[in-house]
Amino acid sequence: MARAALPLLLGPLLLAPLWEVSTAGSLLSRLGDHVREVQARSGQRLGDPSSVTGGWLWQPLDPFNSSDPRSFRQRYWVNVGHWRPPDGPVFLHIGGEGSLGPSSVLKGHPGALAPHWGALVLSLEHRFYGWSIPPRGLEEAQLRFLSSRHALADVASACLRLSGIYNISASSPWIAFGGSYAGSLAAWARLKYPHLIWAAVASSAPVQAQLDFSSYNRVVSRSLADPAVGGSPKCQRAVAQAFSELDDRLSEGNETRAALQSEVRACGSLEAPEDQAELLEQLEGLVGGAVQYDQQVGAPLDVRGLCHLILAKQSRGPLSGLRDAIQLVLQTLGLPCLPSSKAAALAELRDTSPQATSLGYRQWFYQTCTEFGYYVTCKDPGCPFSRRKTLSAQLQLCAQVFGLSPTSVAQAVNWTNTYYGGRSPGATRVLFVNGNIDPWHVLSVLQALGPSEPAMLLRGTSHCSDMAPPRPSDPPGLHLGRQRIVQQLEVWLQEAKVDLGSPGDQ
Ligand SMILES: *[C@@H]1O[C@H](CO)[C@@H](O)[C@H](O)[C@H]1NC(C)=O
Ligand SMILES: *[C@@H]1O[C@H](CO)[C@@H](O)[C@H](O)[C@H]1NC(C)=O
Ligand SMILES: *[C@@H]1O[C@H](CO)[C@@H](O)[C@H](O)[C@H]1NC(C)=O
């Protein structure tokens, strides 16, 4: 999930702080974007940036309709620095719901794994995100060409086209890598195009689409109480108390609300119930983000840090620690205040101006309405947040923004699981890697489904952590997990040597 820019190659364009572009948007996606941005910029760079180039592929806008002549430009990156042709493998980093920069072929997976096997490293930006947005691509008429199925067709066509451009022989196995949604794409690329993709490593891949994702907050709650990452039951209770205090104060008179607005640094008035819900959503994202990106470079707060703040000032009232956490996160993200306007959030989702932001907020929301759901609710008894946020309110947004009815969203989510197989995809040679701290892991494959469908659940590990460059402070589970990824790849690449042969053998 490494994204964003290497200044040498791209100039200042991609480096503009993306969160200045808009003030709405979810705090959780902002946090994710910040983490990826910082990780792309920091740490050691593997190999020589001069062996990295970017390029463009013309791809059909509708690959399933050969009489539609329209096409769009899709961006890719290539790192030839480690490649040992003719039969070195190809490591393909599949992009997800954001832009991809040159660091996507330089570090983390698969850049870090490339030298050992002499791999050619490629990355492909997802259609409709980053710089691969078709003309007028954010308008509703065009968005129907945005789906995981289209993205997989792009992967297949890119395999063939790039094989031609880089003279990749048939004896070079293609290994797909990806994290989060792109991890699902990596698994599905192997599932749907097994003649092109030899194997896949799917990191934190929520392959099960789910309308009501209340289990997200069940894991958030459990992780806040997990001593392995600096949490405690006391911390979990304190977070729940803070949110119940928020709920209480929001239902009191307008003067209490005005005081609360300045206390939590909300950007606007908290009088309207929908703006109150928006504020609660952002604060839930702040806590969820500390869990999801626990112990990652670039994350302003992890579970340990959040719990420390929340518990340190508990004697001064239940909101005291949360206030400090808000301050820290706003500062890190460069935000003047906490977005709390439902109207602004709606306006952002409706905005069709082509900004090459890495957030892709509108596009991703479209994909949740048409494929995945993933609407986080607070139904679980252990959920520490406000219970005001309902599934139907979130489904209403699909209707407000795209005119899609709740029934159609529910049907789309069911179809996604029918089409890909949910948690039993039945693909061979896919390694599913997850962390037990990560709220997304519950939608992934956690146990091996057979000898060629291995899975691991790493203790003390958060979302996509295995893809980041290793650090001495990594939990032992993550350290071990990385070793097992290498061992598994060794096995599959040996199998490729036997099955695909090298041109000299034939
Ligand atoms: C395929 O493309 C042609 C030409 O743009 C168009 O007329 C036709 O309606 C399309 N078919 C489908 C099923 O989208
Ligand atoms: C392509 O690679 C093959 C080996 O796989 C080599 O024999 C051939 O000369 C290469 N062609 C070009 C144009 O580089
Ligand atoms: C609260 O509401 C009352 C009555 O509607 C109004 O007179 C007062 O000015 C309001 N106070 C604030 C702080 O908005």
- The residue-averaged pLDDT of 303-326 equals 94
240 vs 222: CA distance, rounded Å: 12
Helix axes of 181-192 and 148-165: crossing angle, nearest 10 degrees? 70
Residues 38-66: what's their mean pLDDT?
Answer: 86
Measured between alpha carbons, how far is residue 371 from residues 128, 211, 268, 451 in Å? 15, 9, 33, 30
Residue 17 predicted with pLDDT over 80: no
The SS3 assignment for 344 reads helix
Structure tokens at 327: 């301050």
Mean pLDDT, residues 134-152: 95
Task: Supply the pLDDT for residue 229.
Answer: 96
Instruction: List, for residues 248-258, the tens digit of each pLDDT value.
Output: 999 999 999 99
Q: Which ligand is nearest to the CA of 168?
A: 2
* Nearest-atom index, ligand 1, CA of 70: 5
Residue nearest to atom 9 of ligand 2 (CA): 167
Rounded to an integer, the average pLDDT of 188-215 is: 97
Mean of the per-residue pLDDT values for the chain? Answer: 90
Q: Would you state the pLDDT for residue 359?
A: 72
Q: Are strands 71-79 and 430-435 parallel, antiparallel or unpaired?
A: unpaired
Q: How far is the CA of 370 from the centre of ligand 1 (A)?
A: 20
Residue 212 phi/psi, 5-degree rounding, is -100, 100
**CA 288–ligand 3 middle distance (angstroms):** 34
**What pLDDT does residue 36 have?**
83
pLDDT at 360: 87
Report the catalytic residues: 180, 438, 463
Quote the radius of gyration of the chain (alpha carbons, Å).
22
Nearest-CA residue for atom 1 of ligand 3: 254
- Supply the residue whose CA is at minimum distance from atom 11 of ligand 1: 65
**CA distances in angstroms from 75 to 56, 72, 133, 162, 198, listed in the order given:** 5, 10, 10, 12, 23
- Exposure pattern of 139-170 as b/e (b: 16+ CB <10 Å)? eeebbebbbbbbbbbbbbbbbeebbeebebee
- Of 251-255, 413-417, 467-471, give the range with the top mean pLDDT: 413-417
Distance of CA 133 to the CA centre of its chain: 18
The protein residue whose alpha carbon is closest to atom 6 in ligand 3 is 254
- Per residue in 347-381, pLDDT tens? 989 999 876 555 788 999 999 999 999 999 998 88
* Residue 284, number of CB atoms within 10 A of its CB: 24
What is the atom index within ligand 1 of the atom nearest the CA of 65? Answer: 1
- Is the pLDDT reported for residue 269 higher than 80? yes
Is the pLDDT at 194 greater than 60? The verdict is yes
pLDDT band at 28 (very low <50, low <70, confident <90, very high): confident
CA of 67 to the centre of ligand 1 (A): 6
Q: Is 40 helix (H, G, I), strand (E, B) or coil?
A: helix
Q: What is the pLDDT of residue 46?
A: 58
Report the C-alpha gap between 369 and 367 in whole angstroms.
Answer: 5
CB 66 less than 6 A from any atom of ligand 1: no
pTM of the model: 0.93
- 68 CA distance to ligand 1 middle (Å): 6
Q: Phi, psi (5° rounding) for residue 177? A: -125, 150
Q: Which ligand is nearest to the CA of 62?
A: 1
- Peptide bond between residue 318 and the one before it cis (omega within 30 degrees of 0): no
Mean pLDDT of 401-413: 98
Instruction: Give residue 502's pLDDT.
Output: 55
Q: For residue 505, is pLDDT > 50?
A: no
Pairing relationship of beta strands 430-435 and 455-458 according to DSSP bridges? parallel
Cβ(254) – ligand 3 distance below 6 Å: yes
Ligand 3 atom nearest 253 alpha carbon: 1
The whole-number pLDDT of residue 19 equals: 32
d(CA 483, CA 474): 13
Give the angle 463-469-475 at the CA atoms, nearest 5°.
60
Whether the pLDDT of residue 176 is over 80: the answer is yes
262 CB within 6 A, ligand 3: no
Q: Look at residue 290 and tell me whether its pLDDT is greater than 50.
A: yes
Confidence check: pLDDT of 337 > 50: yes
pLDDT at 501: 74
Q: Tell me if 255 CB under 6 Å of ligand 3.
A: yes
Q: With pLDDT > 70 as the criterion, what percentage of the chain qualifies? A: 92
- Binned at pLDDT 50, 70 and 90, residue 315 comes out as confident
Q: Hey, whose CA ends up nearest to atom 7 of ligand 3?
A: 254
Question: What pLDDT does 421 receive?
Answer: 98
Instruction: Give residue-wise pLDDT tens across range 99-117.
Output: 999 999 998 888 899 999 9
30-34, 159-163, 265-269: least confidently modelled range: 30-34
Q: What percent of the chain has pLDDT over 90?
A: 78
